[in-house]
Amino acid sequence: MLTAHYRSVRARVVGRTTSNRRGGGRDHDAYNTDAGVALMPPARPRPWYRRPRRVIVAAVAVAATSGLAATLITPTPSVLIVRELRERGAAEAVAEMAAYAPGTGVAERLNIPYDGVNDAVTLDLYTPEEAGGPLPVVVWVHGGTWASGSKADVAPYLRILAAYGYATVSVDYSLAPEARYPDAVTQVNNALGYVSAHATELGIDPDRMVLAGDSAGAQLASQVAALTTNPGYAADLGIVPTVAAYQLRGIILDGGVYDLDALGDLEGAEGWGFATGLWAYTGTREWAQSPVGRQMSTIHAVTAGFPETFIAGGNADALTRQQSRPFAQKLADLGVPVTAVFFSDEEDPGLAHGFPFQLDLAAAHTTLARTVAFLVRVTA
């Protein structure tokens, strides 16, 4: 189901291709191919804080003025830098997405407590006003290196998905270093349970759920999906799944982390940001080889029962080659249906971490169209 907003956009863009537009080259090695409608945007350069070199310079400058010695003892000063930089980037991304989100036709219910233990963590619900019955639901976990970010960061994107006929839920969770592992995992698991238990009230079909996440949120989503579908893994975590495996029709993973041992080799701005967040989240600087790091590495926890998967990554995102491609291959080897949207190294401009939210890029609309096609199939 498309709302009037997207019917009008579709009429303008059906039949076009993205091969000759900025960032619109076709992915070259998807495991599965879906058709869809790409909303064709104008081009706009990335803001300065999405450019790795400048991010590094800014971070170093702030660290120098805030007391570099303190960052060797505790992750907190560096976490504050990460939050500041990410908040700037998130504000720009939200504004970019908002230009494409429907202004009408989508209803919202905000700040619904879901945890049962910590009422400070809440979720937001978006539904199409034209909905005629229980809707399939997408539950989205925001990114932010486990130490920053907010459910509001993905609000425009979820309004876009809701306009296609889905209930969408954006989940907040407790951030590090104020909270530690596995608080966020437990809370996302509880959010699924809340949505399922309150299905009638929320107007959703609890047997057609899709879990989703970006960046650190993709890691959290993959971990909750793994504990839902792998009883041994759930027992190892000491977390009881709140929904049954059959309720999870699929999972959407954008630019996530699935192997912390490999992540330890990541350099540059992304490596610094993830290392900072993981130190704060796990409580140890040696997170890559720690017991927590092994539990978080879902590449070792997935089974053939893992939900059908949509996974995307940009060609200029180091996590694509290091994390997303190996994870997609592991799932495919297990027999899990995988729709992978990766782009060739020749894609120009390069698609950075978080590119699916950069809706001024044609490649982001290609990915959105593929995402919607995936949702249509797995929730049918």
pLDDT per position as a tens digit, 2-13: 555 444 433 333
Query: What pLDDT is recorded for position 269?
Result: 82
Distance between CA 324 and CA 356 in Å, rounded?
A: 14
Q: What is the pLDDT of residue 202?
A: 97
> pLDDT tens, 253-307?
999 999 999 999 998 888 898 999 999 999 999 999 999 999 999 999 999 999 9
Please report the pLDDT score of residue 4 as a whole number. Answer: 52
> What average pLDDT does the segment 242-252 reach?
98
Q: Report the pLDDT value the prediction gives residue 17, as an integer from 0 to 100.
A: 31
Q: Side by side, which strands form the sheet with 338-342?
A: 106-113, 122-128, 167-171, 135-141, 204-214, 248-254, 308-313, 338-342
Residue 25 pLDDT exceeds 60: no
Model confidence, pTM: 0.86
The residues annotated as belonging to the active site are 215
The predicted structure's pLDDT at residue 53: 41
Q: Is the dihedral of CA 38, 341, 307, 180 positive or negative?
A: negative
CATH superfamily of 4-378: Alpha/Beta hydrolase fold, catalytic domain (3.40.50.1820)
Q: What pLDDT is recorded for position 131?
A: 84
Give the model's pLDDT for residue 228: 98
* Residue 306 DSSP code: S
- Cα dist from 33 to 29, 76, 341, 372, whole Å: 9, 43, 9, 12
Residue of 45 and 75 predicted with greater confidence = 75
Mean pLDDT of the chain: 86
Closest CA to 237 of 222, 227, 252, 245: 227
